[in-house]
């Protein structure tokens, strides 16, 4: 019988801290925090010893020092981490061409078709972990499942330095006892609403009728229930030959707290990325969101809806969902940089679905023609326009 649990999520354990311990072995076993120590500093990574005190990534450094006053605080050294990150991703690519990087220290890969060369998915995962240990000197945790969502939860459950496989058909049972916050896409605010409904575990969420969740969360409610059952569309989106992605980023002059301005910036980026895709006659499989919080804490999130993405509204809808969840998870802190990317680029060849109108495509082509002739500012959405002065009626 063919094993359909071929998706691996590989995550380096406390990556920045692990790299610092390579050159500071005397700190092993002590609580260590990597992050900027200033008044606006936040935790980038904490050792597992520090996490026992409640220290977490993205926590204000002042709060982390209160929780763990004996911790050793080290500033991040990205020049030291970058070669290890490149080596990590190179190891993954040696086992499968279907590798989807998520960040410097984690990635998905699909090893379907690699079994004849390297063995079963479990054997491949074990080999990857051993090579990371031998060639980089740090540890990694791996989750194996039939889709990305469950593989991600499995790798988190395996931490630190572990490997966990969820057999096909057992996704819902694996997820059921876990806290609802362990489900990717459930941030603090959503978890709070769910708690008000008496939902504490992923199994509780899966047991709620879809109609109840839709009444509370709209269309997102049905997706929440599917995810709680371990059902997630879209596979691993490997990089394509040639240009791998198209993206737009914006750095604010001052850290931006306004959700309206952040969403408007994201919409503007979706417009420009859609234009770039059209010029190149390309479509995207994956949308990537990038957020940077002060002083230099950068996160990325991605989603692969399972269809070609061509137009600004499609890109924005996917990116906005990622933004709302990620911003909520980081306590809606002011944002220094926001970016939207289109990845998994393929030839532009989408057919209309039954009942789908060609109007969006025609409208986009007309707008693009105007921008090509008169410049990008010739036509803009109302959401992109600056807000009027506060004293203006």
Q: Residue 62 to residues 40, 43, 48, 66: CA-CA distances in angstroms?
A: 8, 9, 19, 6
Active-site pick, 49, 100, 106, 329: 106
Report the C-alpha gap between 117 and 349 in whole angstroms: 33
Report the C-alpha gap between 255 and 331 in whole angstroms: 14
> Which residue's structure tokens are 């990087």?
101
Do strands 99-103 and 286-293 pair parallel, antiparallel, or not at all (unpaired)?
unpaired
Instruction: List beta partners, residue 74.
Output: 34
Catalytic residue list contains 106: yes
Confirm if 214 and 222 have CB atoms less than 8 A apart.
yes
Considering only CA atoms, which of 100, 367, 77, 53 is closest in space to residue 236?
100
Considering only CA atoms, which of 142, 48, 135, 27 is closest in space to residue 83?
135
Confirm if 186 and 224 have CB atoms less than 8 A apart.
yes
The radius of gyration of the chain's CA atoms, rounded to the nearest angstrom, is 22
Please identify every residue annotated as catalytic: 106
């Amino acid at each position: 019988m063919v094993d359909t649990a071929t998706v691996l999520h590989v995550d380096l354990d406390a990556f920045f801290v692990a790299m610092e311990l390579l050159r500071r072995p005397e700190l092993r076993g002590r609580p260590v925090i990597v992050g900027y120590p200033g008044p606006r500093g936040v935790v980038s990574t904490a050792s597992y010893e520090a996490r026992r005190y409640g220290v977490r990534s993205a926590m204000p450094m002042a709060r982390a020092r209160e929780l763990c006053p004996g911790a050793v605080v080290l500033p991040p050294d990205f020049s030291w981490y970058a070669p290890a990150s490149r080596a990590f991703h190179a190891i993954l690519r040696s086992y499968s061409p279907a590798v989807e990087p998520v960040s410097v220290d984690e990635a998905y890969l699909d090893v379907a078709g690699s079994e004849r060369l390297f063995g079963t998915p479990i054997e491949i995962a074990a080999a990857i972990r051993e090579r990371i240990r031998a060639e980089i000197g740090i540890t990694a945790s791996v989750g194996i499942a039939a889709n990305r969502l469950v593989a991600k939860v499995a790798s988190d459950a395996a931490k630190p330095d572990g490997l966990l496989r969820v057999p096909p058909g057992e996704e819902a049972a694996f997820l059921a006892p876990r806290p609802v916050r362990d489900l990717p896409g459930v941030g603090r605010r959503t978890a709070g609403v769910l708690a008000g409904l008496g939902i504490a575990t992923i199994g509780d969420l899966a047991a709620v009728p879809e109609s109840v969740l839709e009444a509370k969360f709209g269309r997102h409610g049905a997706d929440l229930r599917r995810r709680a059952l371990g059902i997630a569309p879209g596979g691993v989106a490997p990089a394509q030959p040639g240009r791998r992605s198209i993206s737009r980023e914006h750095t604010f002059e001052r850290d931006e707290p306004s959700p309206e301005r952040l969403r408007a910036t994201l919409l503007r980026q979706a417009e420009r990325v859609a234009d770039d895709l059209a010029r190149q006659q390309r479509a995207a499989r994956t949308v990537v969101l990038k957020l940077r919080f002060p002083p230099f804490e950068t996160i990325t999130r991605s989603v692969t809806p399972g269809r070609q993405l061509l137009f600004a509204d499609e890109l924005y809808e996917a990116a906005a969902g990622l933004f709302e969840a990620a911003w909520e998870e980081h306590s809606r802190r002011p944002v220094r940089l926001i970016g939207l990317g289109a990845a998994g680029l393929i030839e532009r060849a989408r057919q209309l679905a039954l009942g789908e109108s060609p109007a969006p495509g025609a409208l986009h082509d007309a707008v693009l023609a105007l921008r090509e002739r008169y410049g990008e500012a010739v036509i803009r959405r109302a959401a992109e326009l600056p807000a009027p002065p506060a004293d203006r009626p």
